[in-house]
Every structure is written in structure tokens, then in C-alpha cells.
Structure 1
Amino acid sequence: MAFTPGILTHWPWECLGNFKYVIVAPFAIHSIYLYVVGSEDRDLGYLAIIPFMLWRMLHNQIWISFSRYRTAKGNNLIVDKSLEFEQVDRERNWFHSLHHTQFRTNYSLFMPFYDYIYGSMDKSTDTLHETSLKKPEDIPDVVHLTHLTTPQSVYHLRLGFAALASEPLTSKWYLWLMWPLTLWSMILTWIYGRTFIIERNTFKKLKAQAWAIPRYNIHYVLQWQRAAINKLIEEAILEADKKGIKVVTLGLLNQEEHLNRYGELYLERHPKLKVKVVDGSSLAVAVVLNSIPKGTSQIVFRGRLSKVAYSIVSALCHKGIQVSTLRSVEYEKLKNKLPTEDCNNLALSVKSCNQKVWLVGEDLTEHEQSMASKGTIFIPFSQFPPKKTREDCFYMNTPSLVAPKIFGNLHSCENWLPRRVISARRVAGILHALEGWNVNECGDTIIDIDKVWGACLQHGFRPSMTSST
């Protein structure tokens, strides 16, 4: 592959990047104008340039997504090597194996006929093709079960646009222009009645995959959708059990208490499951506790109460750290859960707060954030980040960890997290399999926090200290 190609090897508009398509805008505007004014010079072929270009892009993306899906499953892999972020940054001018491993063969990437007639086709082409077709599906040791979030998140999947998937999930203005395709994709995922593989990774002796439930955040808040979602999750767990997968972790809203009691529902329905179902709460608690700056004696707690929230507050009060809540309802619920000897470290505060550390959930309001003093550190304990409204404060990542360098094939960002940072729930399943823990972490069960945190550090995972103002 030539890194310094010769003269006339670049298109004149290459410097425009993704904006190169604006070149056809004058032609499109002119052709539309001719039709509007009823000019005799109007030409249907002239006007059809844009639709044909859009169709070409859509057709191209469909085959690319299908190819990536096959790669994620592990079927028909030609070169079984890890793909990293560095390659994603280059791959727009890179997705053919023999062309890049045997540099004197297979020059015509998409027209192999010319390689055949001129004798430049690699001798192993047919054999390689036949071998790849016979390769069985890759069976992982661990599966992380997640789901789509916003309508635009479908483009953020590795199956969608690689460039978007390699960056943290944010709303892009040009994606709003693609609302017809977005709507079509939502309908398609609604109709598609089973999970699909979005990523596969390797770590030490383990193989891991990420599966996605074809549902969005909005579906999880609709009561009439709960039965359908539970069925999808249950089918995914049963499929994993049938394939001999060791651990399934429930990510994002797939483990909500009101949905399935942190996964306990599936164990009650299928008590003979061999696969271990893990919600990752213990590691999430450990990450939050170890994200609090050393020497902190007072913190503010504000967020929807959950299994993780109760465990965090209980651990802090037991250590002698004073926890102040902003809402009386949360104060009463927490007080009823705490041992009598720890209740003295729980307080109710409804006015401005001077504490420099806040533990927060995604339901933190703008008014509540305004009560914090300048320089406050907001540490989320929830799976979704709170809306940032203060420029003079610091917002930490949701419970997550930086993956070791040997964590292979990591080339897409997990939702809003930075590169090479993965959620604590996802890491929990990997640790579960590596350590061989023969226990489910569902319902009210919490694995020993110190034990989980020690295993996390031992295997090379480190706290995600990234924060943004």
C-alpha cells in the first residue's frame, strides 16, 4: 500500500472530506429551478443525479453493514486479526485481505475479472474463499446484552458508520437530515424480532461479544412494551445457554428493577440455567466508591434510588462519610435501609450545598445542579449520564473502566464513553468468566465489593478518570 502516491492520484475535491457531496448541490438546485419555472431546458436525467447518488450510498452501506455483521458473528472470517481505533481512522482509504497481505496480487479490488485475465490473481484466492465459507460461527465465553438508545444511535453502531462508532455518541446535525432513513431503521428494528451481534472482542483466554436488543430507550418506559422486551432478553439468555456461553451481562435498561428485578425474573423462570446472569452492580459500586477523591468527608447524594444507589450510600455511611440528600423522599427510603448505627451519617439538605463531591443519577435537574458550589465534581452512579448544565464544574464518566492494551478488537466507543473506556457492567461479566465465579448476580445479590475491585485491578482494568467541564 502506497503511503506517498504519485501525482494525479487524488481527486480535486478530496480535501473536502465528507463535504465533497456539496459539489453536486449547484446542479441539484439548478435542475430543481428549471422544473419550478417550467423551462424547456429541464432534463429528468439532470435531476436524477442526486437520487441515484443517494441510492448508491444506501446500497453501499447495506452491504457494508451486512459484511460487518458477519464479521461480528465470526462467520467466514478471512483474516482473524484485531481491528483497533488507529485503523478505523485510516480505513476510509483502506475494509481486501489478499490485496493487503500479498502486495503483488489482486490489484483490481472490485473487478477481479481483470486480475484473472492478466494473471495477477493470487493462487490461493479460490481456496481462501472456500475455507472461509466452511468456518463455523464463533462462540464467545461472555456476552454483554445492550440495546439501542436514541433513534440516531443506530448510526453509532459498528454495523452502521465506522467513523461515528469510533467516537463517543453525540447528536450530529447532519444526522437530522437523514430522518427518513432513521425512521425506516426504527421500523425495521421494531419488526426484527431478535437480538443481533454488534461487536466481538478478545481478552486473554476469553472471547467476548456484545449483542443488542432491537429496542430504543423510549420502548423501555412504555408499560405495554415490557412483556415484549422481557421476551427478547429471555430468548437471548436461553440462546446463550444453549450455545454454552458462560456469562451474560445485562446492560443499560435491560436490568431495570421494574422490568425484571435486575434479571432475577429469568432465573425464576429457568432455574436450571447453566449460563450465569450478571447485572454488574458490585463492580459499578466499586468504581463509584473508588472515584471519590481520598480525604472526602462529606458528599451530596441525588438520584433515583436503585440497587447500586443503596449499596453506595450504605458503604459510605459505614465508613463514616456524611451523606446529604436533597429530597426528603430519598432521605426516608435510605434511612429505612441503613443499619441504625450508620443513620447518623445520613442528613437532609434542601438549600445550597458546599460539598465538593456529588453522587448523581441521570434525573439530576438543572435547579439542583445550580445549588452546587463552583468546582464541584459530579460522579454519576447511574448508567446514563446527567445533563450537563454547569461549565464551572466537573462531570465524571458513568461507572466505567479503561481497558488494558491487550483487550483486542476494540474499535468502537460504547455509547457516550471515550475510546477504550467500557462500562463497569460489561467488565463485570468478563471478570466473572475469568475468575470462574459460579454465582449469579441478580435481584438483591451483591458480590463482595473488595473482591470484585481487586480482581478488576489484577486483570489490568483502571478507573476512567476522564472528566469534562
Structure 2
Amino acid sequence: MVTPLSAWPWQNLGAYKYLLYGPLLAQAVYSRIYGDGSMDKSTWCLHLISLWSIRYSLFSLFNSFSNMLFINGARRINRAGVDFNQIDHEWEWDNFLILQALMASMAYYTFPSLEGLPVWNMGGLITALMLHCGVAEPLYYWVHRGFHGQYMFENYHSLHHQSAVPQPATAGNATFLEHLVLTAIMGVPILGPCLLWRNGSLVMIYCYIITFDVLRCLGHFNVEVIPHQLFEAVPFLRYLLYTPTYHSLHHTEMDTNYCLFMPLYDAIGNTLNANSWGLHKKISSQSGYLERVADFVFLAHVVDLSSSMHAPFVWRSFASMPFSMRLFQIPFLPLTFGVMLAMWAWAKTFKVSFYNLRGRFHQTWVVPRFGFQYFLPFAAEGINKQIEEAILKADRLGVKVISLAALNKNEALNGGGTLFVNKHQDLRVRVVHGNTLTAAVILNDLPKDVKEVFLTGATSKLGRAIALYLCRKNVRVLMLTLSTERFQKIQREATLDCQSYLVQVTKYQAARNCKTWIVGKWITPREQSWAPAGTHFHQFVVPPILTFRRDCTYGDLAAMRLPADVQGLGSCEYTMDRGVVHACHAGGVVHSLEGWTHHEVGAIDVDRIDIVWEAALKHGLKPVSIKN
């Protein structure tokens, strides 16, 4: 049975909960058309909608900044990652904004003196400040302590404390009763000046609510942004303003630091954590709190403008789901284009996510280049320079393995990473393209009884390895290529008894009786039409081919699911499901977990395909094969 007032009245509405703003918007439009233009219902409703927009944007910006690891990584308080469970747990964090907008609307109809508020009154600001410090702060302190009683905590407040890593969204994640009480406490400094002292104003309401939200976000920020020198210069200030470190201690040692924003009341109530100021100084000065060096780095790149928004520091909820283009992204594309230009000017790799696996720290770095740039001849030198700088940075930091994603290891760009290994032969960091595991995933996805396959992209790095591996298994490989020289070079690598299984073909018609296609080069719907009904298209081509044939099935790009004990993972890798990464990423993970000391660059060693596959399975990685 649900405890009374613990659930939100609209918790089953999902995204339709925003329709609750409909009456406010309708009232604003109606009154604006038919009203007299004074401080009537339309103006009040417009202010409520404006406040909601500002507050939602404010929390979103704080959420974004708290996840910008490339800026604030060294000053994070809780070093754990925000995982999918926490993101789902806090998905409805903005319920309190709806509640407070509806309650403010009710207050307008309940108290006629709210009508006709002036824009500015300095006395109202002073009164609101006094009421906050003298009434709201101690009231919240004692109510908060009450919510930590056994019954109240188990039935109400525990929801808030289930979030392992404080985030701005955590501030809004609480039960209906808690936010009813918090709204009432917020109402004291707002309604007091308006109803009792009659010196309230619109500026006072905006300033108080926005300042309240800023301080709430600050407390749950998980990044220490207040310098300890400020408190050393003005010691008493530490009792007037809490810090992210101060409030984080309440989440780890829950019987301390109960205050709203002013530690003064913790000092009076004898609940002030003795470590508050020492820990704050330690983190804000970065003394002894330098960021942990990653054991493994996956060097990714941006695909296009829309996918660049699929990052934890943009929208963590959006990033926690497999990427797909959404309508809400369209208005932000011009802004994203501007950010893209800034990224090019900055020309530095940046950290976007991390997770822990078997005690090893894994990070994802992103080269600030978009997919189309990799196909511009004049951009190749600049891209290779950025990749090289990232490898050298990883080497200086002590990273053990760095894995190159998709286009960062393009054969035409840098020979699958050989350019960097040959240029810097004393590298301690191991450079890995991960294609060995990619080949293993594709090969192990084939039917066990397959006798013939049709292979496009047959002379590419992956195509060559797949062809050589299959011919050893006495599987006939129809290799689509116009270059007889490149075909014969690969054929000569096979043993004499296997060479006959490699067959050069120059047209798609040659595969009209073959139901197993391995696509390594993009093919058009017309070219797909030559496949017989019932064909399955395995693929290692970027972007994936169009699912044109309804009488055929299509495999996804080669990928593997990370082990179940991975910690701190809270974002999806492009279009992959939660916990699933591209096979080249997984290949780097295996390289790290195994502690292999060789570079994996250039041509794929066919003899290592089974070794890498068995190692991946041994460490708990699982193949992912989703057919449409």
C-alpha cells in the first residue's frame, strides 16, 4: 500500500503531465485578449509560465555543468559515476515545478492583495531576506530533522537519499509531501511581504525564487566551486552560506548538516559535521584530490550535429537512451553549430563519460571533429594531429590502453593507428584499434553451418581478416572487388589448400543465390535487390545500410554488452542500447583487462581472432545480435 502523499498525483501521466500548464497558458491568452492589460490573470499566469521556463533552464544548466568532466573533473566531490539507475530514479525531478506553479496560481485567487503588485520595492527584498533567515531557515532545519525520523524517513525522505551521487536533479527528486512542505516554507518569505508588510513586488518574487533554486542546485552540485580562501578571509561567512561539499556530507553522514542554506542552524542545533571545512578546503584546493588516472581510454569522435547533443553534459536523460533524432533538437541546431565552431577553435580532446569495471577506471575522450570532416583531404593532417596529441597525453598521464573509434583509425587517415606507433616507438600506452574483436563478433554471429558468404568491402582491414578466417573453416567466400591485384594479395596469405575457397566477384548478381551477406561497404537498395529472399545482412559499415527488404533481416553493427558489474555507466554509446558498446570499444576493454602489452594497429592478426573472442567471454562481455 502506498503511503499517503508519497506519490505524485500525476505520476502516471508521463510526459503528458506538462498539459497541467495548459489552463495557465489558456488563461494567460484569454485574459490578454479580453482583459484590461493591468496586473490581471493573464499577467500573473504569464509570470508563472516564465518562472517555470527560467527555473527549468536553470536546473538543466546546472545539470549540464556538473557533468562537464573536461572542466570540473578534478573538483568532483563524489568520484562515482551517475548510472542508469539514478537517472531513471530522478527522471521526474521537475514535478515540484508543476506543483509550485499550480499552488502559486491558487494563491493568486485566494489572496486578492496579490493583484496589482508593483514591479519594484526595495523594502520587499529586505523583508523577504529577513523572513528567510529568521523563519524559513530554522523552520526547514527542524522539519528536515523530522523527516529523518524512522517513520518519515522510511516512507518519505529515503527516496531523496537513494541517489548515490548528488546532482542538481537530485534536489527536485522527493515525495509529494516533502515538496508540499518545502513550498509552504518558500511561501513565507514571498507571501509575508505581499500580505503582511504590503511591500512585495514582482522583482522580489523573481529574485527570491531564482536565488532559492540556485542555492538548491549549488548544494547538490557535486563539484566544489566556492574557494576556501573566501571563508578564510571572512570566517563568519561559512555559517551563512553552505557549499556543495558541506551538503554532500549530509548524503554520506545523514545525521549531520541538515540546514537549508545556512550552516548557522546546524551549529546552533549541534548537528554540524566536524569535517565540513577541512574537506571543503581539501577539495577546493585540489590538494590530495587530483583526478584518478584512467586505465583505459576510448577515443571517440562526433558523428554529426544532432548526435553531438547526445552527451551527458547536454541532456543526461537523452544521453541515457539510444540515440535517435528527435524534434526537440531542431531549435538547438544553430546553437550546436556555434559550439561546433568553438570546438574546432579549441582543438582539444575532452572527457565526456567514465565507468569502473573490475576496479579499473575507463574514460571516453572525444576528438572535436565531426564525421564529414574525416572525408575532407585537407582536414586529414589536423585530425591526425589531434589524435596524436590525445595519445601522447594519455601516455604522459599513465593510461595503459587507448582504443581508437571508427573514423579515428581510418586506414586512409593513419593506417589503422600505425602512423602513431611508428612515429612514437617509445610509447608506454598501448594503442588499439579493436578490430580483432569486431571481426570475432561478426564471425561468431554467422550460422554455424554456413557454407558460402558474400562479402563486400572485401579488401578492407576487416574484410581481409573475415575472408581469411572463413576460408580456413572451408567456407566459400565471394569477395566483391574490382581490384584483382588486391584480391590476389589476400588470397596468397591463405594456405594452398584454402585458397580455392576465396573467389573474386565483380558484380552483385554473383550473390543472387547466397543468403548470407557480410556488408563492409555501403550498398544501395538496388544492390540489395540481388539478394534472395531470406537473406540476412551482417554488416560492419558506417553508417548502417538501409533496411530496404522486408523479406530479409538486418544485423546491427558489431557490438558487445559490458559485464553486469560495470559501475557508473549512465550514457549510451550512440545508437547502442544501455550497457552495449561498439566492438572496437569492447576490444580495447579486453586488451586492458587482459593486461596485454602489444599494440593492436594495422592489419588484423587472424590467428588472434579466437584468442580475443575467448578473452572477451571470459571477462563477462556478451555478444549482442539484434535482428530486425
1:213 to 367, 370, 383: 367
Unaligned runs of 5+ in 1: none
Q: Distance in 1 between matches of 2:518 and 2:265?
A: 62
Question: Are residues 1:175 and 2:329 paired?
Answer: yes
CA distance in structure 2 between the partners assigned to 1:444 and 1:87 by the alignment:
42
CA distance 1:396–1:149, shift in 2 (3 Å) = same
1:196 & 1:76 partners in 2: Cα distance? 16
d(CA) in 2 for partners of 1:266, 1:54: 49
Residue 537 of structure 2 aligns to a residue whose secondary structure is strand
- 1:301-324 per-residue CA deviation (whole Å, 9 max, x = no partner) reads 124742111111121123221122
- Ranges in structure 2 where 5+ consecutive residues have no aligned partner: 94-162, 168-219, 221-247
For residues 404-419 of structure 1, the aligned pairs below 5 Å read: 404-419=563-578
Question: Once the two structures are superposed, what CA deviation does each residue of 1:107-145 show, in whole Å capped at 9, x if it has no partner?
Answer: 566x35686477465554434433433311110111110
**Would you say how many aligned residue pairs link Structure 1 and Structure 2?**
462
Amino acid in structure 2 at the alignment position of 1:350: Y
Aligned pairs for 1:215-230 within 5 A: 215-230=369-384
Query: Is 1:152 the equivalent of 2:309?
Result: no
Greater Cα offset, 302-311 or 147-156: 302-311
Deviations, residues 340-378 of structure 1 (Å, cap 9, x unaligned)? 741443252532623332111361222222333333222
Contact 1:403 1:461 in 2 (8 A): yes
Q: Residues 411 and 72 of structure 1: is their aligned pair in 2 closer, same or farther, counting only changes over 3 Å?
A: farther
**Normalising by the residue count of structure 1, what TM-score does the alignment of the two structures yield?**
0.85
| Mean CA deviation greater in 155-164 or 332-341 | 332-341
Cα separation, 2, equivalents of 1:187 and 1:207: 31
1:91 aligned partner, one-letter code:
E
Are residues 27 and 220 of structure 1, via their aligned partners in 2, closer, same or farther at CA, if it must alter by over 3 Å? farther
Rg bigger for which structure? Answer: 2
Q: Which residue of 1 aligns with 2:386?
A: 232
Q: 1:61: which partner in 2?
A: 60
- Cα distance in 2, alignment partners of residues 27 and 331 from structure 1: 72
CA contact (8 A) 2:296 2:362 kept: yes
Deviations 1:409-452 (A, max 9, x none): 22221111112111221222222233332221222353722222
**What is aligned with 1:350?**
508
Partners of 1:270 and 1:290 in 2: how far apart?
35
Counterparts in 2 of 1:301 and 1:202: CA distance versus 1, 3 Å: same
Q: 1 CA distance for matches of 2:467 and 2:7?
A: 62
Query: What is the deviation of 1:253?
Result: 0.7
Q: Which residue of 1 aligns with 2:83?
A: 84
1:329 alignment partner in structure 2: 482
AA at the equivalent of 2:283:
S
Match in the other structure for 1:468: 627
- On the 8 A contact 2:81/2:354 being kept in 1, the answer is no
CA positional deviation for 1:385: 2.6
The corresponding residue for 2:160 is none
Query: Match of 1:461, as an amino acid?
Result: L
Q: Which amino acid aligns with 2:454?
A: V
- The structure showing larger relative contact order (alpha-carbon pairs under 8 Å, at least 6 residues apart) is 1
Letter in 2 for 1:329: L
Contact map agreement 1:310 1:334 (CA 8 A) in 2: no
C-alpha displacement of 1:106: 4.7
Q: CA deviation at 1:408?
A: 2.2
Q: What's the secondary structure of 1:468's corresponding residue? A: coil
Contact 2:84 2:569 in 1 (8 A): yes
Q: Tell whether the 8 Å contact from 1:199 to 1:209 is kept in structure 2 after alignment.
A: yes
> What is the SS of the residue equivalent to 1:211?
strand
- The DSSP-based 3-state class of the residue aligned with 1:75 is helix
Q: Deviations over 1:282-332 (max 9, x none)?
A: 12111211111101111121247421111111211232211224x552676
1:423 aligns with 2:423: no
Change (3 A) 1:434 1:25: same
CA distance in 2, matches of 1:185, 1:50: 28
* Structure with the largest fraction of helix: 2
Query: 1:454: how far off?
Result: 2.2
What SS does structure 1 have at the residue aligned with 2:303?
coil
Deviation at 1:102, TM superposition (A): 4.0
Partner of 1:126: 277
Q: What does 1:255-274 correspond to in 2, within 5 Å?
A: 255-274=409-428
**What pairs with 1:156-167 in structure 2 (closer than 5 Å)?**
156-167=310-321
Q: Find runs of 4+ consecutive structure 1 residues off by over 6 angstroms.
A: 25-35, 37-40, 42-52
RMSD: 3.4
CA, structure 1 residues 107+254, in 2 after alignment: closer, same or farther (shift >3 Å)? same
Q: Check conservation: 2:522, 2:542, Cα contact below 8 A.
A: no
Cα shift at 1:238: 0.8
Among 488, 491, 498, which residue is 1:338 paired with? 491
DSSP 3-state at the match of 2:369: coil
The one-letter code sitting in structure 2 at the alignment partner of 1:212 is V
TM-score, normalized by length of structure 2?
A: 0.65
Report the secondary structure of 2:616's partner residue. Answer: helix
Structure 1 CA distance for aligned equivalents of residues 50 and 407 of structure 2:
39
| Partner residue in 2 for 1:379 | 538
* AA matched with 1:368: E
Q: 1:296 to 1:72 in 2, by over 3 A?
A: farther
- 1:233 is displaced (CA, Å) by 0.8
User: Which amino acid in structure 2 is aligned with residue 184 of structure 1?
Assistant: G
Task: Pick one of 456, 470, 479 that aligns with 1:302.
Answer: 456
After the TM superposition, which of the residue ranges 171-180 and 122-131 deviates more from structure 2? 122-131
Q: Percent identity?
A: 31
Alignment partners' CA distance in 1, 2:318 and 2:563: 23
**In 2, are the aligned partners of 1:141 and 1:208 still within 8 Å (CA)?**
yes
Contact kept? 1:277, 1:441, Cα under 8 Å = yes
Identify the range of structure 1 (380-389 vs 248-257) with the bigger mean alpha-carbon deviation.
380-389
Given that 1:361 and 1:386 are in contact with CA atoms closer than 8 Å, whether structure 2 keeps it comes out as no
Q: Alpha-carbon deviation of 1:196?
A: 0.7
**Higher mean C-alpha deviation, range 71-80 or range 274-283:** 71-80
* Superposition deviation, residue 27 in structure 1: 6.6
